[in-house]
Chains A and B, each alone.
Chain A
Amino acid sequence: MDIPYTIKPRPDTGIYNAKVGIWLFLASEVMLFGGLFSAYVLLRVGASDGFWPHGWLNVKLGTLNTLILALSAITTLLAWAACKVGEFGKFKIFHACTLLLALSFLCVKMYEYHDKWIHYEIKLNDGTFADGHMVENDPAKDYLVIEGRIVKDESLLYDLRSQKNIPHDEIKIARADIKSKENYGPWHHTYLAIYFTLTGLHALHILGGSIVIGYLWGPGSRMYKRNPEQFTNRIEVSGLFWHFVDLVWIFLFPVLYLT
C-alpha cells in the first residue's frame, strides 16, 4: 500500500503529510518541555532565600554548546537546500558536519555531567563544609583528597557568581572527620534535579535526532536515487525536528546557565 501525499501537497492542508505529522509532533513536544519549564519556575520561586544556586554551571561550556547546536542547525538546513538543488555530494558533506556537531554537543554535555558527578559537598563534624572535586577516594585509606575549599557557612556554596578568586587547593580530609558527603547529582539540590531532567531529556532528543540523521546520511540516502523528492522531504522533516531541538536549547541555556 502506498502512503499518500509523501511528495505532493495534500489539497486540504496544502502541505505533504509528513510535514503535518512533524508539526503535530513538535506541538506535543512543546507541551512536554513546557511542563518541565513550569516545574523549574515552581522550584525556583519555592526555594528558600539565598539557597538557589548561581554560577554552578560553566557558562563557557554552555556557550560552546549553544554555538555548536546553532551551527548544526545551519548545516542541517544547507543539507536540505543541497538536496533541493540536486547536489547530493554537498548534502553528504553538510549532513556529516551535522552529525559531527551533534556528537560534539553530546561530548561537551557528558564532560559537564562528569564534572558534577565528581564534585562533592562534604559536611564535617566541626560544622564546616568542604566543597570540591574528588581527587582521591580510596576506601582502603582513612582519608580522602578533594581539590576545592572549606567554608564555614553553607550559603557561600550557593552564589558563586558574587565571589571572586574562589580557592582550589588540594585538601586532605580524614574519614573520621566526615559527618556526611554527597556529590552534585540530581539528589543534591532541586536545581540539579531539574537541570539533569531538562538537559538529560534534551540530550536524548539530540541522540534520537542523530540516529535519524545518521540513517538518512548512510543507508537511508539510497532513496535519493529512487525518489529524490521524497528523500528531500524526509530531510526537511528531520531538519524541522533538529531546529526544534535547537530552539529548546536556546531557552535552556539562559534559564539554567545565566539566570
Chain B
Amino acid sequence: MSEAHSTDLKSYIRRCALVFLAVICTTSLMIAASFANIGGWPVKVAVILAVAVVNAFLVAGFLMHLLSEKKMVYTVLAFTVFFFAGLMGLTVWATGDFPVGTIFH
C-alpha cells in the first residue's frame, strides 16, 4: 500500500463523512418541516419535497459522481428527465378532472 493511495482513501472518507453529515441535516430538516406549522398542506409538501431534492442531489452528485460524468451518461439522464417530467406532468394534469367518488378508502 503506497502512502499516496492511503492519503487518497483518507480524503475520500472525509468527503463521504461530510456528505453523510449533510444527509443527516437534510433528513432532520424534512422531519422538522413535517411537524412544524408552516402554512397549509401544499406549502408543507412543497418544502419537504424541496429538501428531499437537495438530499437527492447530494447522493446523485457526490456519491454517484454525477457532477463529473461523461456526456453519454448526461444524455441518458436527459431522456429520463424528459419522460419522467412528462409522466408527472400528465399526472398533475389528470388531477384536475378526477372522476368523483371513484376512490373512497
Interface residues of A (CB under 8 A from B): 9, 13-15, 19-20, 23-24, 26-27, 30-31, 34-35, 37-38, 41-43, 45-48, 51, 59, 63, 66-67, 70-71, 73-74, 77-78, 81-82, 85-87, 90, 188-190, 240, 243-244, 246-247, 250-251, 253-255, 258-259
Most buried by B among A20, A188, A259: A259
Give B99's nearest chain A residue, CB to CB.
Answer: A46
A-B contact pairs, 11 of them (CB 8 A): A14-B72, A31-B80, A45-B95, A59-B31, A67-B24, A73-B63, A82-B9, A86-B5, A190-B103, A251-B56, A259-B49
Assess A250 versus B73: contact at CB under 8 Å? Given A51-B105, A63-B27, A85-B5: no
Chain A residues with Cβ below 8 Å from B64 are 240, 243-244
A26-B77 Cα distance, complex, nearest whole Å? 9
- Interface residue total, chain B, C-beta cutoff 8 A: 53
Other A-B pairs, 5, CB within 8 Å; known A15-B72, A82-B9: A14-B71, A23-B77, A46-B103, A243-B64, A251-B49
Shortest 4 CB-CB distances between A and B: which pairs? A258-B34, A46-B103, A85-B5, A14-B70
Contact of B56 among A24, A190, A250 (CB under 8 A): A250
A253-B34 Cα distance, complex, nearest whole Å? 12
Chain B residues with Cβ below 8 Å from A85 are 1, 5-6, 8-9
Number of A-B contacts (CB under 8 A): 145
Q: Is the CB of A246 within 8 A of B48?
A: no
Q: Is the CB of B48 within 8 A of A45?
A: no
Q: Is the CB of B5 within 8 A of A70?
A: no
Within 8 A of A (CB), among B1-51: 1, 5-6, 8-9, 12-13, 16-17, 19-20, 23-24, 27, 30-31, 33-34, 41, 44-45, 48-49, 51
Give B33's nearest chain A residue, CB to CB.
Answer: A258
Chain A residues with Cβ below 8 Å from B92 are 41
Q: B71-96, CB under 8 A of A: which get 1 and which 0?
A: 11100110110011001101110110
Chain B residues with Cβ below 8 Å from A27 are 76-77, 79-80
Q: Is the CB of B79 within 8 A of A259?
A: no
A87-B92 Cα distance, complex, nearest whole Å? 49
Most buried by A among B71, B73, B77, B88: B73
Chain B residues with Cβ below 8 Å from A251 are 49, 52, 56
Give A45's nearest chain B residue, CB to CB.
Answer: B95
A240-B24 Cα distance, complex, nearest whole Å? 21
